[in-house]
Chains A and B, each alone.
Chain A
Amino acid sequence: MAEAATQMKVSDEIAITISKMNKWYGTFHVLRDIDLTVNRGERIVICGPSGSGKSTLIRCINALEEHQQGSIEVDGTLLSSDLKNIDKIRSEVGMCFQHFNLFPHLTILENCTLAPIWVRKTPKKEAEETAMHFLEKVKIPDQAMKYPGQLSGGQQQRVAIARSLCMRPRIMLFDEPTSALDPEMIKEVLDTMIELAEEGMTMLCVTHEMGFARQVANRVIFMDAGQIVEQNEPEAFFNNPQSPRTQLFLSQILGH
């Protein structure tokens, strides 16, 4: 399985640089001295116990959460409080949420074309063609005229991925994309994500799917208490974890 990962190449170009980033919720120190560099084409899986700050970390990257110290640079654009900068970064970075967050008042097709039409100013027809292309890619073009409420969870999450892809992002963030899904549906979403990885998309993925991490990731990051505790290539990470905290975590999630 590790062969698939090594086949996909990683460029030297840097996609994201996070340095000395700190974040507090009120007085609670959620992220502490995060240093992370992501190369283009890299596929990173972030895992850790709940409350360890892994979701917060990737939400900081597209400014859904504000950080108080340190710097985040995405595609050479420094994330500051300037709204223009934030909108620029957001339109370059796609995001998938645990609860899909599709727009329930719009059809699947409208969900996918909305941002290209209004943010990228793409003509409607062209946006619809792009949307159909990506819906075909996630294998649900026949649902295009339905509303999100009529689809299963797995289908909704695949639409959410297609919706992000329609903006032609250079980086994709996944925030526990399979945590709200039935086991049967997890596979269809993971398959979509694997396909995306094989095409060389830069991906940061918070997930508990360790099989996915082994198969796709070229780096696994373990977080606890707001810090990066360990990061390594998946084989080494799973077979030979260094820190006792990582060992405990892995024994608990892989133990049953």
Chain B
Amino acid sequence: MSDTHAHSVAFVRETEIPSSPPPYAATGPVKWLRENLFATPANSLLTIAALYVIWQILSGTMPWILNGIWNTSSLAECRQVLDGAVGACFSVLTERWNQLLFGFQYPSELYWRPTLALGLLFVAAAPVLFFDLPRKLLAFTAVYPFIAFWLIWGGTILTPIVAFAGVAAGAVVYQRLVTGSFAYGFFGGIIAAFIVWTVGGWIIPDGASETAMLTAVPSRDLGGFMLNMMLGVTCVTLSIPIGIALALGRQSSMPLIKVVCVVFIEFVRGVPLITLLFVASVMLAYFFPPESSLDLFLRVVIMITMFSSAYIAEVIRGGLAALPKGQYEAADSLGLDYPQAMRLIILPQALKISIPGIVNIAVGLFKDTTLVSVIGMFDIVGMIRGPILASTEWNGVYWELLGFASVLFFVVCYGISQYSQWLERRLATDHR
């Protein structure tokens, strides 16, 4: 190889090429349109066809919505006002607004109580959902269930206080005993809570609820979308920790715990929810002595929680299985014990992987709360199918009512979904 040739081939870069912005033509709305909507003739054709379909849908529905009547007191009156023109009778929503939201038996002068409970729910949920907020707010979250219970059901304030005292006593006993062994702490805590509740039950005088500061409202008077929200929030909150416990139990090396968890999960997953609800409303009464009437609301909560916790357990098991074995080993090799390894290392990662699955089940559960209309509870669907559609004024207003219910559910479910996506982005620390 000659010197000159080597001189022309060998190469040493002496200056770095500076980075430069992309050419202007690669950005801008025209570029976007051309690339996404009119890239090829077939693409253009599809765009035009899609625009036509959208136009058809809008031209069919928009007049109906925009021409809607909001202020009549019956379907007949509404039709009269419309006088043959296309238009929705949204006045059923305005006229039955309170029934749709609170049911038809909740005393109307007490509507502020569930409304306040809903407002406080956001305050209580905020520190759990957005963990950048100060941790001290969790104290309010801890007492919120008892406040909400008192606001919605009313009655003597002693009931929620005793309930809270029981939980607090259980927590204290757990804290004391858990250093010895988790089992001592767990069962000790439960026993302590039950003792406080039993003693509290004796202390609360009979008839205290009649003279209470807040008028007592029985469970059967709850209804409307409020009932769906209450069932949804309670059951999701309860089923996530139970689901975690079941998922860990299923992986346990202790045969008894493992068998109990597997049997529970497989049994509950194998049964339709509606069957469980019928069991709750009809069958359970046969198993309890006649004088002890477990509240229907509570029975339904237990059944839905059982149902969804079994599903959540399986989703979390998937998350646990997705973690590399090295994470367990690293936690073990540092000397962390089982509860510490789970709480600090394994569950934070497994739950993060399981977020989409858990949210999927939470959203499904929330919508499934409308099934309680089948067992005679007047949730929003129960209200629509029962008292509202059966009334002489509004017999036949299906689209507006069911559309309204759909919008309510959509807003909540879409909110949950958006939150979960934010959460996933927020927790993305692995930079894969």
Contacts and interface: CB of A to CB of B under 8 A. Distances in A.
Do the two chains belong together in a single complex? yes
Interface of A: 62-64, 83, 87-88, 90-91, 93-95, 97, 99, 101-105, 114-115, 118-119, 147-150, 163-164, 167
Contacts of B335: 87-88, 90-91, 115, 119, 167
A147 B334 contact: no
8 contacts: A87-B335, A90-B333, A91-B334, A97-B329, A101-B330, A103-B331, A105-B349, A105-B427
Contacts of B345: 103, 114
Contacts of B349: 103-105
B338 to A, nearest CB: 8
A149 B329 contact: no
- Per DSSP, are chain B's interface residues mostly helix, strand or loop, or mixed? helix
B333 A95 contact: yes
A119 B330 contact: no
A90 B330 contact: no
B352 interface: yes
B51 to A, nearest CB: 44
Contacts of A149: 429-432
Contacts of B330: 95, 97, 101-103
- Per DSSP, are chain A's interface residues mostly helix, strand or loop, or mixed? mixed
The 10 closest A-B pairs by CB, nearest first: A91-B335, A149-B431, A101-B330, A101-B326, A115-B334, A95-B333, A90-B335, A104-B430, A149-B430, A147-B429
A167 B334 contact: yes
Contacts of B329: 64, 97, 101
Interface string B328-361: 0111111111001000110011001000000000
B326 A97 contact: yes
Contacts of A104: 349, 429-430
B43 interface: no
A63 B430 CA distance: 29
A118 B429 contact: no
A228 B177 CA distance: 47
Contact of A105 (B332, B336, B429, B432): B429
Contacts of A93: 333
B327 interface: yes
A164 B335 CA distance: 10
A149 B432 CA distance: 7
Nearest to B348: A105
A83 B334 CA distance: 14
B141 to A, nearest CB: 23
Contacts of B429: 104-105, 147, 149
Given A105-B349, A149-B429, 7 more contacts: A62-B332, A90-B335, A91-B334, A97-B329, A114-B345, A147-B431, A164-B334
Contacts of A150: 431
A64 B328 CA distance: 10
Interface in B349-381: 349, 352
A64 B333 contact: yes
Contacts of B340: 118-119
Given A105-B349, A114-B344, A147 B332 contact: no
Contacts of B432: 149
Contact of A118 (B344, B352, B427): B344
A104 B322 CA distance: 14
B336 A118 contact: yes
B327 A103 contact: yes
B333 A62 contact: yes
Nearest to B325: A101
A75 B299 CA distance: 56
